[in-house]
Structure 1
Amino acid sequence: MASLIEYLRGDPRAPGERKLIVKLDFFILTFCCLMYFLNYLDRTNLNNAYVSGMKEELAFHGNQLNQINTVFTVGYTIGQVPCNIALYYVKPRFFFPACMVIWAGLTMATAGAQRPRDIMAIRFFQAIFEASTFVGTHYILGSWYTERELGKRSGIFTASGLAGTMIGGFIQTGIHSSMNGLRGLSGWRWLFIIDGIITLPVAVYGFLLFPDTPQTTKAPYLTVDEKALAISRIPEVPERTPISWGFLKHCFSTWYWYFFVVLWIIAGESESFSSNALLALYMKAHPTNKYTVSQLNNYPTGVPAVGIVSTLFWATLTDFWGGKRYLVGYWIGFTGVVTAALLLAYPGNTSINFGMYYWAGSVYACQATFFAWANDVLRYEEDSLRAVVIASMNMGSNAINAWWSIVFYGANFAPHFTRGMWAMIATSIALAIWTVLLVRMQKRTDRRREQEGVYPSREEKEHTEPEDVGENTRIDLKA
């Protein structure tokens, strides 16, 4: 118990480290979490609007909702790697807010849509600028935090996006009941207007106070010693520009890119029950039960609520257990098989359907832990490689999801999604197998690094104090 309490408090060893971490947590996590919260709020409120009158008003038919989500996914996929490479050249405190302002404007423009194809065009460009948020933040977190600190922060960040999903339903309920018809606009149109407006102040906050990276920060709240300490906490690694033929050859000659991209492709599809809003679609198409607009928006919020609890639990636990992120892969494999099997076995049982969709929300834990896992393994590689691998993970997942959701989870398959249940069972088994393979690759790399002296063994690290931060500490603060 004492070790758990020590972990939760943090175990800084260098003088002033706890104070530095408190500052980083406040300024990095508040901005990134608010940004991701609003990102997910903008993104998932399309489903809330769909079940709150948009479908009827804009005359949606067939799989048009899935087609819009696919177009969004295509734009999101295109934006992944360029956005993370942009962070290598443009300071995050400029890049993140600029993207936020653009996607806020496009969100508000959605309120003026007259046909499904209008929303399709808006969502494509909106996705390109929203692509910076998730992978960009994981790159930033890996730049500031140590292996023992990273999982917990990644979990808090991921939970903020799930909170956006959850709260979006309640916001739509409130807007529909109080603003529907105001100034001649439907409640779902007001939803997009309000989403865009509340994004702008957060963009201003990021522009003024986000600390960039340890090597480039000019944050006024960090002292010279704290900036030096921040640099000393992260391994010094060789660096090369990510826009070169040599870098591309190096990137594709390592196992990191292939194994982590495939890991997230499989894991991303294990979230399909939740990311495709299957519970809301199940309720909307239920053969006997008829649900009100409030129920259609409120009941599915239990799914991200379970996701938040699961994310924080697994992120904290894997930190406490020394970075055993792979455990989540086994949990998700088990969860996916059991939930899909029970949904197949009891398609007419409403209670079991609700229960399984809620339980399936726990697979959201893979977002924080798997990206923290990639940051952990790539900590001793150059930043440009880490940035590209992290971005490629999400790019690969979204490239598959662009067609996966239509083939297996189209709205026309509601309420039972039989094809998707079998796909989930196969995906979950594949994830457990791939997790085993990736663990073997990581252990092989750890042994090689220890033999080469790149980093000390686990036994040595437990008894090694970090170097003092003093006059001889290298400070390389780029303009």
Structure 2
Amino acid sequence: MAPSPEQKHSKDSQFDQPAHELAPRQKWYQWFAPTDSPAERRLILKLDGLIIVFVFLAYWAKVLDSSATSTAYVSGMKEDLKMYGNQLNYLNTVYMVGFITMQIPLTLVMTRVPVNYFLPAADLLWGVLTLAQYKAANVTQLYALRFFVGALGGFFFPAVQWYLGSWYKGAELARRGALFFIASQVGSMSAGYIQAGAYAQLNGRYGIEGWRWLYIICFACTIPIAFLGLCLLPSTPETCTSRFLTPDEIQLARARMAAENRQPREPFTLAKIRSILKGWRLWVLVGFAFFFSQADGVSSNSGLSLWLKAEGYSVANINTITTVSPAVTILSSIVCGVLSDIYDVKVALIATTAGLNIFACTVLAIWRVPVGLKFFAFFLSGTADGIAAIIYAWANEICARSSEERALVISAMNTVGNTFGAWTPLLVWKTVDAPRYLIGYNWTIALDVCMLLMLVVLQRCWRREQRRPAGSGV
């Protein structure tokens, strides 16, 4: 008996629906999608163990070094090396010059060489140069060392974002990116305790001053992690020969990336560079990243700690209370990463976070509010960085069709953020304005408003790109 027109339409409409609407929805607490096969789940778990563990530990170790110089300066380095005037500022400036100028070149170099050797080797060299700082006899030697330490450490964040995009699907990236990103927050929370304990226990041991021990500890943390990377990291799927992945798993990884339109590495030709520069993706994503990267000024410019000090809180209480902000960043990063991957709500999460930051900065700009509300505003501002993993996961998705474009765009996004972050605080977060940074809080409100406007532009460009037939150009 032939089906009626109504039955036929109902049957056909099932196949007209997108696959993601027919498939069961992943729950927030599930690590795998319901559609992942057993083989795919085994592969994902292996990748998490081989990649995520290394990049988390390596990023954590780098945060120890970034705070070691300031700690060393007040722990005897100033006197031992006869530093005076603005030489600490010059040290930080030299570090940032290396950090900023080498991000794009080194990230692009990584697309040309085996990643599984390049990342750990750079980490190993970074550790050796960090150790060399403990032998510095004068500030001139430190200038040279800090430049190269900055160069080798600066490219790590964008390089890892590109690397994660070479292995993980779009619905997996934000969570992994969040786990990688929170290593910096864990590092900032633990660095003070590690360095304080090391100085108290090791100062003068074997005739070595306490501030020099700080660099030795950074080295001791880094070298085992670098060797772990050399042993575990796989290269990218198209060139992978990992001893921990079977040929079938490598082939499955390639198929997963092909299904995501994630293209393998190709020659970096002049024509490709021209194509990238002519397209919208580089300029819109870098513009968006500028506003995002500067909007975390409340937590990055010590407003909370300076306010607590002005209010007469003890040093112990200040150190304890200020750990809440990075804890909020960690929690918001995980929540945003999970929600983004499972429900694909990048735009809503970014807009919500910007709105929360606008509210927090409005409260702080008013300033004369109840103490409880002021605490809430300071802590709420910690959510500003919670969307970092989402933004870089989205960039991986948007630039999926060119591995080289992904590397260039992601590194440029991070470079622009660091470049402006190196000098804009001198204008809008002036120490003389502390703890009520009226200019800084209003500046952050303006940044978040502009980020919301850029979000509309980015979303429209991306939707237009998705409607465009494959192979129709930029």
TM range (shorter): 0.7 to 0.9
What amino acid maps onto 1:72 in structure 2?
Y
Pick aligned residue for 2:160 from 122, 137, 160: 137
- Indicate the residue corresponding to 1:409 in structure 2: 429
Pick aligned residue for 2:34 from 11, 27, 31: 11
Q: Which moved more, 1:82-91 or 1:172-181?
A: 172-181
Mapped contact 1:268–1:397 kept (Cα < 8 A): yes
* 1:9-408 matches, cutoff 5 A: 9-14=32-37, 16-49=39-72, 68-112=91-135, 119-183=142-206, 187-235=210-258, 237=263, 240-242=266-268, 244-280=269-305, 282=307, 286-287=309-310, 289=312, 291-292=314-315, 297-322=319-344, 324-346=345-367, 354-379=375-400, 381-408=401-428
Q: CA deviation at 1:255?
A: 0.6
Change in CA separation of 1:2 and 1:398 when aligned onto 2, cut-off 3 Å: closer
What amino acid maps onto 1:418 in structure 2?
L
- 1:389 & 1:135 partners in 2: Cα distance? 9
What amino acid maps onto 1:328 in structure 2?
L
Change in CA separation of 1:264 and 1:406 when aligned onto 2, cut-off 3 Å: same
Change in CA separation of 1:339 and 1:123 when aligned onto 2, cut-off 3 Å: farther
Alignment partner of 1:418 is 2:438:
yes
Mapped contact 2:26–2:32 kept (Cα < 8 A): no
What amino acid maps onto 2:267 in structure 1?
T
Provide, for residues 372-415 of structure 1, a one-character-per-residue CA deviation record: whole Å limited to 9, x for no partner.
01011122x11111111111111111121121132223545433
Change in CA separation of 1:203 and 1:57 when aligned onto 2, cut-off 3 Å: same
What amino acid maps onto 2:157 in structure 1?
F
Change in CA separation of 1:288 and 1:377 when aligned onto 2, cut-off 3 Å: closer
What amino acid maps onto 2:355 in structure 1?
F
- 2:186 & 2:386 partners in 1: Cα distance? 13
Mapped contact 1:408–1:419 kept (Cα < 8 A): yes
- 1:96 & 1:19 partners in 2: Cα distance? 24
Paired residues in the alignment total 447
Secondary structure at the counterpart of residue 3 of structure 1: coil
Q: CA deviation at 1:61?
A: 7.6
Provide, for residues 236-284 of structure 1, a one-character-per-residue CA deviation record: whole Å limited to 9, x for no partner.
6486422x3212211111111001111111111112233344444555x
- 1:222 & 1:198 partners in 2: Cα distance? 27
Change in CA separation of 1:2 and 1:439 when aligned onto 2, cut-off 3 Å: closer
Change in CA separation of 1:445 and 1:2 when aligned onto 2, cut-off 3 Å: closer
Q: Which has the higher contact order (CA 8 A, sep 6+)?
A: 1
- 1:69 & 1:408 partners in 2: Cα distance? 19
Mapped contact 1:99–1:132 kept (Cα < 8 A): no
- 1:289 & 1:64 partners in 2: Cα distance? 30
- 1:57 & 1:408 partners in 2: Cα distance? 34
- Indicate the residue corresponding to 1:476 in structure 2: none
Q: Flag structure 2 segments of 5+ consecutive residues without an equivalent.
A: 1-23
What amino acid maps onto 2:332 in structure 1?
S
Change in CA separation of 1:55 and 1:404 when aligned onto 2, cut-off 3 Å: farther
Change in CA separation of 1:57 and 1:419 when aligned onto 2, cut-off 3 Å: farther
Mapped contact 1:7–1:320 kept (Cα < 8 A): no
- 1:29 & 1:171 partners in 2: Cα distance? 23
Identity of aligned residues (%): 30
Mapped contact 1:12–1:18 kept (Cα < 8 A): no
- 2:370 & 2:140 partners in 1: Cα distance? 36
Q: CA deviation at 1:297?
A: 4.6
- 1:348 & 1:6 partners in 2: Cα distance? 38
Q: CA deviation at 1:435?
A: 0.9
Change in CA separation of 1:223 and 1:14 when aligned onto 2, cut-off 3 Å: same
Secondary structure at the counterpart of residue 8 of structure 1: coil
Mapped contact 1:91–1:212 kept (Cα < 8 A): yes
- 2:29 & 2:283 partners in 1: Cα distance? 36
What amino acid maps onto 1:386 in structure 2?
R
Q: Flag structure 1 segments of 5+ consecutive residues without an equivalent.
A: 455-479
Q: Which moved more, 1:357-366 or 1:39-48?
A: 39-48
TM-score calculated relative to the size of structure 1:
0.84
- Indicate the residue corresponding to 1:468 in structure 2: none
- 2:76 & 2:229 partners in 1: Cα distance? 35
Q: CA deviation at 1:199?
A: 0.4
- 1:280 & 1:56 partners in 2: Cα distance? 26
TM-score calculated relative to the size of structure 2:
0.84
Mapped contact 2:25–2:34 kept (Cα < 8 A): no
Mapped contact 1:170–1:298 kept (Cα < 8 A): no
- 2:79 & 2:302 partners in 1: Cα distance? 18
- 1:118 & 1:351 partners in 2: Cα distance? 48
Change in CA separation of 1:42 and 1:163 when aligned onto 2, cut-off 3 Å: same
- 2:461 & 2:334 partners in 1: Cα distance? 26
What amino acid maps onto 1:429 in structure 2?
V
Q: CA deviation at 1:80?
A: 1.3
- Indicate the residue corresponding to 2:450 in structure 1: 430
- 1:113 & 1:360 partners in 2: Cα distance? 39
Pick aligned residue for 2:468 from 448, 461, 478: 448
Secondary structure at the counterpart of residue 144 of structure 1: coil
- Indicate the residue corresponding to 1:465 in structure 2: none
Mapped contact 1:70–1:403 kept (Cα < 8 A): no
- 1:173 & 1:355 partners in 2: Cα distance? 29
What amino acid maps onto 2:367 in structure 1?
Y
